Amino acid sequence: MATVAENGSRWQALFSLPVIVAALGYFVDIYDLVLFSIVRVPSLKSLGLSGQQLIDRGVFLLNMQMVGMLVGGILWGVLGDRRGRLKIMFGSIFLYSIANLANGLVDTLPAYSLLRFLAGVGLAGELGAGITLVAEVLHKDARGYGTMMVASVGVSGAILANAVAAHFDWRRAFIIGGVLGLLLLILRISVAESGMFRNMEQKEVSKGNFLALFTERRRFGRYLDSILIGVPTWFVVGILITFSPEFAKALQVTGAVSAGNAVMYCYLGLVFGDVASGLLSQLLKSRKKVILIFLGLTLAGCVGYFLASGVSPASFYAICGFLGFASGYWAIFVTVAAEQFGTNLRATVATTVPNFVRGMVVPITLSFQWARGQLGLTAGAIAVGAVCLAVAVISWYRLEETFHKDLDYFEEYL
């Protein structure tokens, strides 16, 4: 039985520098992702685009960023298991910062798309490395609270992004993101490496073998299911929230709806959702039960969204906020992925899984574009959303419960 002193040290660790730095890294991550959704229209207009191009080129730029996150997820994940969690946290934030500073100076669409790709590569290492570090430095009884803190602080970056976009033009908003990244880089100098990784360095064990995730059926199944349970979150953010002005018009909302406000309310809901899911996972002592509850809430939110015909903008924003809350199992989902695998593959999995989910925005948006042409804007989105939710529920059913799992072990794949 744990002593009072041991329990006290566990809870003090929640406010340690690794947890704070991981939370701030996710804060910068969300700031950038949300900022593009907000400045999509004004930035493209300033480059001379208009009309349907604002949607088509907006989807293209979002997909470039998400492809960058796919590439970066593999790169930083493998390096995280081979070179250490901290090294990828340094490298990823540096690349992101430089890309965002340059993004504030672009004058052409090709340059814009290249820098969105590079920013995506940079951001790819933030959440996975942070969750891996937090999961390994905290006691298993406090892991849920630690990832809850990372997520709740992190998604607050959306609120800052909306505030910055409201007071500065899109170029300065990107530059501010780059400066925030460089400040975080300085803060990370004092962070210590994970003890589990340091112990692994002394062992003769294969580390960060990304291909090993595909060479054994059960291991690949765990990996694929870890990805697919998170897909509904990015259907909500990538389709329903990003293109909320277009949906509001189709639903005949009684006033103008701005993407910036929709994003702000969605991510405000995410803050409370991440806190609620983290606390609930600790109370229920289960990750799986919480994920299923939040998938149900996501379904309810989507139904409310598509039935919001003729509502006021305030009511529409409230639905966006509820959708954000329902999507607030993001940190729990990444934690589940990290807890599914051994120390020698954990950073690879925890870094690639959220970025592969984000990368799923590419097939989701392409499917949406096709379904929109066949069924119309609203019906096309409903069809794509139904598939995303169905796939997530099937994957949830196949995953094991990991709440009490001891993470100090190696994945054997040789």
- Residue 288 belongs to a domain with what CATH number? 1.20.1250.20
Considering the domain boundaries, does residue 48 fall inside one? Answer: yes
Model pLDDT, residue 101: 94
Model pLDDT, residue 5: 38
Counted domains in the chain? 1
Model pLDDT, residue 192: 60
The answer to whether residues 256 and 313 touch, using CB atoms and an 8 Å cutoff, is yes
C-alpha radius of gyration, the chain, whole number: 20
Model pLDDT, residue 14: 66
Residue ranges, the chain, pLDDT below 50: 1-6, 414
Considering the domain boundaries, does residue 258 fall inside one? Answer: yes
Considering the domain boundaries, does residue 122 fall inside one? Answer: yes
CA dist list (Å): 49 to 52, 56, 249: 9, 10, 21
> How many helices and strands, by DSSP H and E, does the chain display?
20, 0
Closest to 230 (Cα-Cα) out of 108, 338, 317, 114: 338
Six-digit token pair at 32?
């950038």
Closest to 321 (Cα-Cα) out of 292, 301, 339: 301
DSSP 8-state secondary structure symbol assigned to residue 213: G
Model pLDDT, residue 4: 37
Model pLDDT, residue 213: 84
Could you count the other beta carbons within 10 Å of the beta carbon of residue 51? 7
Considering the domain boundaries, does residue 226 fall inside one? Answer: yes
Considering the domain boundaries, does residue 205 fall inside one? Answer: no
Rounded Cα distance between 191 and 210, Å, is 26
Considering the domain boundaries, does residue 1 fall inside one? Answer: no
What's the one-letter identity of residue 166? A
Buried b (16+ CB within 10 A) or exposed e, 235-271: bbbbbbbbbbbbbbeebebeeebbbbbbbbbbbbbbb
Range of the domain at 290: 14-189+210-398
Could you count the other beta carbons within 10 Å of the beta carbon of residue 108? 10
Model pLDDT, residue 40: 83
**In terms of pTM, does the model score above 0.85?**
no
Model pLDDT, residue 176: 94
Considering the domain boundaries, does residue 346 fall inside one? Answer: yes
Closest to 24 (Cα-Cα) out of 210, 151, 171: 151
Six-digit token pair at 95?
């690349």
Considering the domain boundaries, does residue 51 fall inside one? Answer: yes
Cβ contacts of residue 83 below 8 Å, gap of 6+?
none
Model pLDDT, residue 92: 86
Model pLDDT, residue 1: 38
